Structures are given as structure tokens and as C-alpha cells.
């Protein structure tokens, strides 16, 4: 560990013989409908024959322009859904390559592969889908506890999700906090039902994260999440979401900034620079040994910011915290093995 000594660790992380049961009932937090496909269909249904709508217009009706790319991806993956041929990109090109014939039957002709501007709807009636999710985030953000009991840790866990299309490989690792060696690992392969939309990552990853964490025999003393916590527009990133819904101490660790700015006073003696957002210090930018760019640390739940930074530094040998580094490596191996398996099956046909 060099100059930084891992403080507050008790010793070897003992296995527990039975499943831990102190996780909260997550159903009481399921306040809003998170069926992206249904909300998107509501938007598409507003586009009548002879007209089209851009992915951006649909995204704005959903509640966030940043969902435009997800709209295109979803439509391309579900060409059979009614009205999908009426969704176009910003330049008027249909998302579906097969849309030209259907549009032609409706009287909408293409010129050089594009629908003319007079056929494109500028706006749709809002359906409030992402607006409702943001309101839920803001409501749940009030339940985040920004303090902990500073107990001595035996286990420090990490969870990471890897993707191959809509296949999600989620790995949870539990490491001995002092030695940073694996004690147990759980893995889940599932289908991502919610698309990737910036600032709404939790709705995509939480089901897989919950499944992987629940498979651990030993309840983590603290859980590192590959994603933001309080450094989020709603102060409720995926690390907060997981912490509040599972009632676990969590820390958010991300590779890229989402909100906030580094204070001009410069780095602290710890080598970390405070990140201010909304008039308060909400996280730290810290560059680990062996890494050129900083990682961004923030509170998830049931921990103080100073303690969060201490735990991240203590669990990092080189580049990235060990629990997350191991989870990422295993997730990549799972994805690679699955691809090889598909390739081998194809070769035997």
C-alpha cells in the first residue's frame, strides 16, 4: 500500500454459513413504471399516417433529449412494433432500413433516403416517463444517509456490469478487507430490460446488481459500485440507488465526471481534489497509483464522504479498487466465453 496504511480493518473476512437476510424489501421502492418500451410506444402512437417523428422529438416527449440514441436502438431492435417505420433520425433517414416501402404506401416518399422536412413532426405530447423517474430519484435522494458508524471492516465488496448487446453480465466480489484477496464471488447473466440513458443507469443495472449481491453468502460490510453516487444531477446515482434499496453502505466510483467541478484550492494532502456541486463538496477526484486520469468518488449510502475516500484508497493497489477490478475482469471473461461458445456452435452447424 505504500505510504497509505489501510485503517479500520479487523482481519480475515469470515464466511457465513447461511444467506444474510437483512436486506430490505425492495418492492416498496417500486413507485413508478419503468417499462421503456410501453412509454416509447405511447410516443410513436402519436405519429399518424403520412408523418414521421425524429428520435429527438420522441426523447423530449419521454422527458430527456439524451434518450434519443436509446430510442433509435430500441426501434431498430423491435421493427415489428406498430409505427416503428415512422421514426427517423435528425437528418430524416428512417431508423429502419425496411421503412421506405411502408412509408411509400402511406404517401411519404423519400428523397435520397430522407423524409422531407414538411413531413417531420417537431414535437409530441409529453408522456412524462423519464420525468417521473427523475422525480423518483429526487424523492429517494432524501433517504440517503451521509454518515456511517466507522465500524471495523472485515469484507469489502464490489459489483460491476458488463454488456454484450442487451446481455448483461454482473459480478459481485467479496474481498478480505485487510489482505484484499477474494473470499467469494457471485455472477449473474441476465437481459437488460432498460436501455442505457445517461443519468438513469440505475434503472438498467439494479435488477442484475441486486441478484448478484443477494447471491453472496456474506453480507458486505461495504459495497463499491462502478458508477456515481451523489455526483449526479439528482444527487442519486446508481450507487445511491443500490445503497438505499438494499440498505447497504455503498460508495460510487466512476471513471468519468457527470456533474460538478474541482475546487480551485487544489488537491488535499490525501492527493484528492474536492468536487463541488450545488454549493457543496459532493465527491473527490483522485488519481490512483499507475493511472493517468482521476477516478471520481462519492457517497452512495450510509457512509461519510471522508470515509468513502479512505475506503477507496485503502482498497486500491494500482489503477482501480481491487473489488471492482476483479469484478470487471471476471465479467469480461464471461462475455468472451459466451462469444466463443456461440462461435463454436455456429462452426458445428
Q: Are residues 94 and 167 in the same domain?
A: no
Cα separation, 195 vs 111, whole angstroms: 31
Question: What is the signed CA dihedral for 140, 141, 142, 148, rounded to 10 degrees?
Answer: 110
Tens digits of residue pLDDT in 9-43: 444 565 554 455 444 444 445 457 789 999 999 99
Q: Are residues 330 and 202 in the same domain?
A: yes
Q: Are residues 73 and 154 in the same domain?
A: no
Residue by residue, DSSP assigns 137-189 as: HHHHHTT-------PPBSEEEEEEEEEETTEEEEEEEEEETTT--EEEEEEEE
The residue range of the domain holding 334 is 143-340
Give the end of a domain, one of 74, 99, 132: 132
Domain count, the chain: 2
Query: pTM of the prediction?
Result: 0.89
Q: Are residues 237 and 97 in the same domain?
A: no
The reply to whether 11 falls in a domain is: no
- At residue 269, the pLDDT reads 57
Q: Which of 77-81, 262-266, 340-344 has the lowest mean pLDDT?
A: 262-266
Tens digits of residue pLDDT in 162-179: 999 889 999 999 999 999
pLDDT, averaged across the chain: 90
Q: Are residues 222 and 329 in the same domain?
A: yes
Q: Are residues 329 and 182 in the same domain?
A: yes
The reply to whether 287 falls in a domain is: yes
b (16+ CB within 10 A) / e for 213-247: beebebbbbbbbbbbbbbbbbbbbbbbbbbbbbbb
- The CATH number covering residue 208 comes to 3.30.2170.10
- Categorize the per-residue pLDDT at 242 as very low, low, confident or very high, splitting at 50, 70 and 90: very high
- The CATH number covering residue 97 comes to 1.10.10.10
Q: Exposed, middle or buried by CB within 10 Å (0-12, 13-18, 19+), for 287?
A: middle
Amino acid at each position: 500500500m505504500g505510504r497509505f496504511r489501510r485503517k479500520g480493518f479487523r482481519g480475515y473476512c469470515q464466511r457465513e454459513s447461511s444467506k444474510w437476510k437483512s436486506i430490505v424489501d425492495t418492492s416498496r421502492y417500486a413507485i413508478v413504471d419503468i417499462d421503456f418500451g410501453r412509454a416509447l410506444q405511447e410516443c410513436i402512437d402519436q405519429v399518424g399516417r403520412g408523418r414521421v417523428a425524429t428520435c429527438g422529438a420522441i426523447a423530449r416527449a419521454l422527458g430527456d433529449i439524451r434518450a434519443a440514441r436509446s430510442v433509435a436502438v430500441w426501434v431498430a431492435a423491435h421493427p415489428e412494433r406498430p409505427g416503428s417505420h415512422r421514426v427517423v433520425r435528425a437528418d430524416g433517414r428512417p431508423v429502419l432500413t425496411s421503412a421506405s416501402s411502408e412509408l411509400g404506401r402511406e404517401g411519404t416518399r423519400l428523397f435520397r433516403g430522407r423524409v422531407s422536412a414538411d413531413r417531420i413532426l417537431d414535437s409530441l405530447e409529453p408522456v412524462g416517463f423519464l420525468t417521473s423517474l427523475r422525480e423518483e430519484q429526487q424523492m429517494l435522494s432524501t433517504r440517503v444517509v451521509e454518515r456511517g458508524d466507522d465500524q471495523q471492516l472485515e469484507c469489502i465488496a464490489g459489483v460491476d456490469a458488463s454488456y454484450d448487446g442487451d446481455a448483461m453480465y454482473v459480478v459481485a466480489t467479496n474481498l478480505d478487507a485487510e489482505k484484499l484477496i477474494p473470499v467469494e464471488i457471485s455472477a449473474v447473466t441476465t437481459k437488460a430490460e432498460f436501455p442505457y440513458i445517461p443519468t438513469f443507469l440505475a434503472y438498467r443495472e439494479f435488477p442484475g446488481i441486486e441478484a448478484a449481491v443477494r447471491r453472496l453468502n456474506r453480507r458486505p460490510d461495504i459495497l463499491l459500485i462502478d458508477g456515481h453516487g451523489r455526483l449526479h444531477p439528482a444527487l442519486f446515482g446508481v450507487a445511491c440507488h443500490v445503497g438505499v434499496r438494499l440498505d447497504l453502505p455503498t460508495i460510487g466510483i466512476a471513471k468519468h465526471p457527470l456533474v460538478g467541478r474541482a475546487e480551485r484550492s487544489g488537491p488535499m494532502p490525501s492527493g484528492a481534489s474536492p468536487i463541488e456541486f450545488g454549493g457543496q463538496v459532493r465527491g473527490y477526484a483522485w488519481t490512483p497509483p499507475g493511472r493517468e486520469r482521476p477516478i471520481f468518488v462519492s457517497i452512495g449510502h450510509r457512509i461519510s464522504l471522508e470515509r468513502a475516500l479512505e475506503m477507496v484508497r485503502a482498497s486500491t493497489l494500482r489503477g482501480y479498487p481491487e473489488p471492482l477490478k476483479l469484478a470487471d475482469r471476471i465479467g469480461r471473461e464471461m462475455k468472451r466465453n459466451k462469444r466463443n461458445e456461440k462461435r463454436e456452435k455456429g462452426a458445428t452447424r
